[in-house]
Amino acid sequence: MTDFTQIVRRPLITEKGVDAAQRLNSYQFEVALNATKAQIKEAIQQVFNVRVQGVRTLVGQTKPRRRRGQRGRVHAFKKAIVRLVPGDTIEFI
């Protein structure tokens, strides 16, 4: 998995995430389920041209949902919380 655009899917822009970006210099991204922390770190550094201090990940499990009487499931996802070196920022927020 060398294509960085397949590793980092999209930034997660939420109230809690924006607050963490301002206070802690950490940003949240949805990443590929099979991406490792080292791959995520390298992808963020290459795509946004910043230095990464640390990466924390979590996997959201599938949940049952109903829509119009039909049952289904929400897909699993992986979220990465990336902390940057002081002085570096990402300007999508």
CA atoms within 13 A of residue 60's CA, in its CB half-sphere: 14
When mean pLDDT is compared across 28-32, 41-45, 55-59, 64-68, the lowest value belongs to: 64-68
Residue 69 lies in a domain: yes
pLDDT at residue 34 tops 90:
yes
Q: For the chain, how many structural domains are there in total?
A: 1
Q: Residue 18's domain is classified under what CATH number?
A: 3.30.70.330
Q: Which domain holds residue 67?
A: 4-84
Q: Is residue 18 part of a domain?
A: yes
- Which pTM value belongs to this model? 0.86
Assign 41 to helix, strand or coil: helix
Asked if the structure places residue 90 within a domain, the reply is: no
Q: Is residue 93 part of a domain?
A: no
Residue 22: inside a domain, yes or no?
yes
Asked if residue 89 is part of any domain, the answer here is no
